[in-house]
Amino acid sequence: MQIFLDIATEAALAAGVVLQDYLGKLEDAISEKGRPGDLVTAADKASEQVILEVLRRHFPQHSILAEESGKLGNQDNDFLWAIDPLDGTTNYAHQYPCFAISIGLLIQGVPKVGVIYDPFHNELFRAAAGLGATRNRRPIQVSQTSELGRSLLVSGFAYDRRETTDNNYAEFCHLTHLTQGVRRGGAAALDLAYVACGRVDGYWERGIAPWDVAAGIILVQEAGGKVTAYDGTPIKIESGRILATNGHLHDSLSQELIKVPRLSSWT
């Protein structure tokens, strides 16, 4: 696990240099991938190539699932690297300082290693099964908040939110009224990292991909938190839905998410 963690760290730090170099210099090198607002930049692609080079050099037999390149290598391998070379591309394109690199390793489908690197603030979040979770090499843990009314939450909105009523607007409004606030950062990996280090007490989202959350799941778990599906059952990373909390709020937040009426029924 330590070797996997160190190699993932090497890849994330190298990709961070790429993102710093491109920041503010993209000009016209930005395009949409299909849905409005789903951006890709030259920085995404360059960052991913650096990560792939590092992982392939050390683990040529491992399979890879990368946001820009898709599935690579033998997908039947027990070791799968889930890579988001630039989580928060829209933020990055606008030079809004909330973006990160996310590299997670799943072993037989279960997240076991995670590295999330925010190059703008130089914050490196790392975790591996049995090794704990750290921020810039120092141990971190989730918050102790135990009441929703005293909590600060974070969430996000999927790219298809304009096309479906199965979006996050209703939950966002509902929980804003029950808590001290709900933030929307625009980078799922950092949302999970912030749960892990106690900056926020809980996070939920729908419409996400495995590369968005693979690293963050093990980070939250190793920091003492809990990660499940909305209803508290074991998470299925391919489902696109996640609930992550400090553990103390998990049941109450799960119950509130389940009972929120669909947006289409609101007046």
CATH annotation of 1-139: 3.30.540.10
Q: Are 2 and 130 in contact (CB under 8 A)?
A: no
**Phi, then psi, of 116 in degrees rounded to 5:** -125, 125
DSSP collapsed to 3 states, 6-41:
HHHHHHHHHHHHHHHHHCCCCCCCEEECCCCCCEEE
Question: Does residue 160 have a known ligand-binding role?
Answer: no
Going by C-alpha positions, the residue among 175, 185, 203, 193 that lies closest to residue 97 is 185
Summary mean pLDDT of the chain: 92
Q: Is 87 annotated as a binding residue?
A: yes
The reply, when asked if residue 44 is annotated as ligand binding, is no
Angle at 201 between CA 148 and CA 262, to 5 degrees: 60
- Digit-coded pLDDT (tens) for 83-141: 999 999 999 999 999 999 999 999 999 999 999 999 999 999 999 999 999 999 999 99
Question: What confidence score (pLDDT) does residue 159 get?
Answer: 66
CATH 3.40.190.80 boundaries in the chain: 148-259
**pLDDT given at position 28:** 58
CA distance 263 to 267: 9
Q: Which CATH architecture has domain 148-259?
A: 3-Layer(aba) Sandwich (3.40)
CB-based contact 111:201 (threshold 8 Å): no
- Percent of the chain whose pLDDT exceeds 70: 90
Name the segment(s) of the chain with CATH classification 3.30.540.10.
1-139
Q: Cα(first)–Cα(last) distance of the chain, in Å?
A: 51
User: Quick one: DSSP state of residue 120?
Assistant: T
Distance, CA of 194 to CA of 196 (rounded, Å): 5
Residue 201 annotated as lining a ligand binding site: no
pLDDT surpassing 90 at residue 49: yes
Mean pLDDT, residues 163-180 taken together: 85
Q: How far apart are CA 33 and CA 176, in angstroms?
A: 31
Q: Does the pLDDT at position 219 exceed 80?
A: yes
Would the annotation count 106 as a binding residue?
Answer: no
Q: Give which of 129, 125, 131 is closest to 113, Cα–Cα.
A: 129
Amino acid letter, 82: A
Whether the CB-CB separation of 213 and 230 falls below 8 Å is answered with no
What is the per-residue pLDDT for 26?
A: 73
160, 207 contact by CB (below 8 A): yes
β-pairing, 182-184 with 153-155? parallel
Q: What pLDDT, on a 0 to 100 scale, did the predictor assign at position 167?
A: 77
